[in-house]
Amino acid sequence: MALSSEMHTHVASDGLKLRYAVDDYSDPWRPPETLFLLHAAMGTSKRLYKWVPILSRRFRVVRPDMRGHGQTEIPRPDQISVARLAKDVAEIADALGCKQFHVAGSSAGAIVAMQVAMDYPDRVKTLGDFASTPGLKNTLIDAESWIAGIQKQGFLKFLESTIGDRLPKGADEGFKRWFIDEAAKTNPEMFYEFVRMMKACDLTDRLHEIRCPTLAVIPHPDPLGTREQYGVMKTKVRNCEYVEYDGLPHNITDSVPERCAEELKRFLLKHCPA
């Protein structure tokens, strides 16, 4: 039976209330293949809405609001880490009765997806990495500059002044406004903790632990990361399909969502045919 995209609640093992959407229009007589889609920092499950029609006919699509984002509760500083975010995915999968699943993420969400694949290798069937290096430690992102900019200008003005790093010229103005307004709802104090955590993260030395087929889709040129920084995915992940999207800035999952979703669908069907 198909599930609606209303938000569901799961209480994590540390007591935090997690919220997530489920969309499933797959054939009801087949056991569902479950796909987790993890949004970027300053995002929510809403940001992946254009992916749902493309993927949910074949997969049960689960879109969590990560800790501190969207409708999920804001964690204490001791309740947020990349490993804890990965554990949230595994716990929601448990709640859904899902032993194995696919996971894909955008930007910071892709870092979490990598951690899921490393920490739960027997459960993750495929991994999708969109616009992310294995952590932000070695990227061009200056977390303290971001924090200072938000503190000085406020979230809204900061996002307006840096939108060119995220979306391409010519992006629909209505979408751009929606993107900025939604991102500006992020709790600033939580975001400071979140971006510092991601900036300290470097999973490069663990990439060899990823055993599942992996898709890495990389924007180029990206003002937030170099081709060399992204390239470690294809050199250190043993079964990695590496794709570059030329002429697009960082947020490819928002600027060309249908293209990204079709790319992921192609990859998934290659590795789990009907």
Strands 60-65 and 124-130: unpaired
Within a domain: residue 2? Answer: no
Q: What is the pLDDT of residue 41?
A: 95
Copy the structure tokens of residue 78: 């001791």
Report the alpha-carbon distance of residue 42 to residue 179 in Å, rounded: 10
Copy the structure tokens of residue 158: 């900061």
Residue the block writes with tokens 């951690």? 115
170 C-beta neighbours (distance < 10 Å), count: 8
Q: What is the pLDDT of residue 168?
A: 87
Within a domain: residue 140? Answer: yes
Copy the structure tokens of residue 23: 């969309």
Query: What CATH number does the domain containing 141 carry?
Result: 3.40.50.1820
Q: Within its chain, how far is the Cα of 60 from the centroid?
A: 17
Report the alpha-carbon distance of residue 158 to residue 138 in Å, rounded: 23
- The secondary element (H helix, E strand) that includes residue 115 is helix 108-119
The total of structural domains in the chain comes to 1
Q: What is the pLDDT of residue 1?
A: 33
Per-residue pLDDT of 29-88, as tens digits, reads 998 899 999 999 999 999 999 999 999 999 999 999 999 999 999 999 999 999 999 999
Within a domain: residue 175? Answer: yes
Q: What is the pLDDT of residue 265?
A: 98
Within a domain: residue 70? Answer: yes
Residues in the chain, pLDDT under 70: 1-4, 274
Within a domain: residue 163? Answer: yes
Copy the structure tokens of residue 98: 């899902």
Strands 17-23 and 7-11: antiparallel
Q: What is the pTM of this model?
A: 0.95
Within a domain: residue 1? Answer: no
Q: Would residue 205 be called left, alpha or beta, if left means φ above 0 and alpha means ψ between -120 and 50 degrees? A: alpha
76 C-beta neighbours (distance < 10 Å), count: 11
Determine the structural domain holding residue 94 and report its residue range.
Answer: 7-271
Within a domain: residue 39? Answer: yes
